[in-house]
Amino acid sequence: MSSDARFFAFLKDRIGLDVASVGEAIIERAVRQRCTTSRLDGHDAYWQLLQRSPDEQQALIEAVIVPETWFFRYPESFATLGKLASARLEQLGGVRPLRILSLPCSTGEEPYSIAMALFDAGLQAAQFKVEAIDISPLSIQRARRGVYGKNSFRGERLTFRERYFDPVEDGFRLQDRVREQVVFQPGNLLDPTLLVAQSAYDFVFCRNLLIYFDVDTQRQGFEALKRMTRDDGVLFIGPAEGSLLGRMGMVSIGIAQSFAFRRRDDASPEPLAIVAAPARPPLPAEPPARVARPVMPAARSQSILKPFAPLSPARPADVQSPGNSEAAALLGSIAALANEGRTAEAKAACEQYLRRHEPIAAVFYWQGLLSEVTGEAAAAQRFYRKALYLQPQHPEALAQLAALLAAQGDSAGARRLQERAARGVNKEGHNR
């Protein structure tokens, strides 16, 4: 086993992380950072420290986990929650308060958004309680503090900040009436001793976690989530996870952009085949500058040739450091290498970008395209899902992932992605 593979196996065992889902470069960079911080020379010395120090084990996990969250991310989910919660309270007739779970809760933006959404929907404090779980004690500590900077407030709908936050020297402090609705505790979805795993909640939020697991761990995570969700409850997931959940006996509730699912009553769960569907025939290892791709399912099957670099102009979510000329130059190099058919070099440039800079949707999208070129359909799916995690409406990633799912027979998953892409186009045109 190589020195790096030891760390991959450690993270897989501890938190279920599939190295293929995030890329080796991100984990290697985290290990280098921890070596430097620990003042250790080489992986062997750091591995020995890792084996004997629980604190260092947690520090490596913290270095790999990069929270990417903000208040009211995927706003339709919270609007939907408010409506469903009000209806659920009427059904309960005051017998008990609603129980809601947020896992992983990161630094608290999601569970606090849940509480604010329920207050906005007219619920009283005594009518609901939110429990929030995360594997990172450091994130839990920040969440309990309840002070947030500008990065936690994105978009144009920020009126909630005036209602629920007070300005302080280092940002905005959440009011106590919201903080008191949320109970935080550290925990791991895959831990069988986790107390909440034996509970049943009216609403469960588990978004953008399962895409980072391998197939077996996804199955284990799904089973835990189903146990946590009441038979008549609702599970909110990430936008890239819908096709995964449908294979575990759950179905969308049918509200656009809510990413909300319930148990399916009309049939037993389909066999779980999350990302291991048969790949399409391999393409040449070194393709020409133009590559054939499947198009969206239409009245008849067809294929077309497109340029290999159809990326839209840079969007805010794609550029985390606008002044970083090195990052921009490296992105340009990736596009140029791909269009010249230099696939291996383009892949290496993607890995180089991820070692030097924070991950962005554009790089994961390129990795998806390059994986398709070499016939690696499963890897391409993972990369497209990672792009959609960082930028849910990335149009090219939506189109490519939909085409892949359609080619593998998942017409429902492809249709959902097509509908998302169409809504994004309509919204963009409306805002112009």
Instruction: Read off the pLDDT of residues 62-103 as tens digits, 9 standing for 90 and up.
Output: 788 766 689 998 899 999 999 999 999 999 998 999 999 999
- Beta 229-236 vs 260-263: how paired, if at all? antiparallel
Structure-model confidence comparison of residues 380 and 240, the more confident one: 380
Asked whether 412 and 243 are in contact (CB, 8 A), the reply is yes
Angstrom distance (rounded) from CA 368 to CA 376: 9
What is the model's pLDDT at position 342? 81
Identify any residues that bridge with 185 across adjacent strands, giving them in sequence order.
133
- Give yes or no for residue 40 having a pLDDT over 50: yes
Asked whether 412 and 246 are in contact (CB, 8 A), the reply is yes
Helix crossing, 3-15 with 43-52: angle to 10°?
A: 30
Structure-model confidence comparison of residues 347 and 24, the more confident one: 347
Tokens 């359909």 belong to which residue? 377
- Give yes or no for residue 136 having a pLDDT over 80: yes
Angstrom distance (rounded) from CA 197 to CA 229: 10
CA proximity to 134, closest of 179, 181, 185, 195: 185
Tokens 């990736």 belong to which residue? 334
**Tally of residues, the chain:** 432
What is the model's pLDDT at position 197? 62
Task: Mean pLDDT check: name the lowest of 53-62, 162-171, 240-249.
Answer: 240-249
Task: Mean pLDDT check: name the lowest of 249-253, 268-272, 425-429.
Answer: 268-272
Rounded to 5 degrees, what are φ and ψ at 47? -60, -40
Which range is most confident: 104-108, 251-255, 352-356?
104-108
Helices (H), 121-175: 137-145, 159-164
Is the bond leading into 104 cis (omega within 30 degrees of zero)? yes
Equal fold, 75-263 vs 290-313+322-431: no
Which range is most confident: 116-125, 145-154, 336-345?
116-125
- Give yes or no for residue 270 having a pLDDT over 60: no
Sheet architecture: strand order including 260-263? 182-186, 128-134, 98-102, 201-205, 229-236, 260-263, 250-252
Segment (H or E) for 22: helix 19-22
What is the model's pLDDT at position 407? 67
Across 156-182, average pLDDT: 95
**pLDDT category, 130, cuts 50, 70, 90?**
very high
Angstrom distance (rounded) from CA 112 to CA 71: 8
169 alpha-carbon distance from chain centroid = 31
* 253 exposure class (CB count in 10 Å sphere: 0-12, 13-18, 19+): middle
Rounded to 5 degrees, what are φ and ψ at 312? -70, 165
**Is the sign of the CA dihedral 100, 98, 79, 260 positive or negative?**
positive
pTM (2 d.p.): 0.62
Rounded to 5 degrees, what are φ and ψ at 234? -130, 135
Angstrom distance (rounded) from CA 408 to CA 421: 19
Asked whether 4 and 28 are in contact (CB, 8 A), the reply is yes
Across 336-347, average pLDDT: 81
CATH number of 75-263: 3.40.50.150
Task: Mean pLDDT check: name the lowest of 157-171, 242-256, 336-350.
Answer: 242-256
Structure-model confidence comparison of residues 343 and 312, the more confident one: 343
Structure-model confidence comparison of residues 268 and 255, the more confident one: 255
Structure-model confidence comparison of residues 372 and 187, the more confident one: 187
Distance (Å) of CA 266 to CA 61, 248, 255: 41, 13, 19
What is the model's pLDDT at position 235? 94
Segment (H or E) for 75: helix 75-92
What is the model's pLDDT at position 272? 31
Across 370-399, average pLDDT: 84
Angstrom distance (rounded) from CA 71 to CA 394: 20
Distance (Å) of CA 84 to CA 253, 255, 383: 11, 11, 33
What is the model's pLDDT at position 198? 66
Angstrom distance (rounded) from CA 257 to CA 75: 8
**pLDDT category, 165, cuts 50, 70, 90?**
very high
428 alpha-carbon distance from chain centroid = 23
Superfamily of domain 290-313+322-431: Tetratricopeptide repeat domain (1.25.40.10)
Task: Mean pLDDT check: name the lowest of 12-16, 155-159, 259-263, 381-385.
Answer: 12-16
- Give yes or no for residue 314 having a pLDDT over 80: no
What is the model's pLDDT at position 319? 43
Structure-model confidence comparison of residues 20 and 107, the more confident one: 107
What is the model's pLDDT at position 320? 44
Mean pLDDT rounded to a whole number for the chain: 78
Domain ranges of the chain: 3-64, 75-263, 290-313+322-431
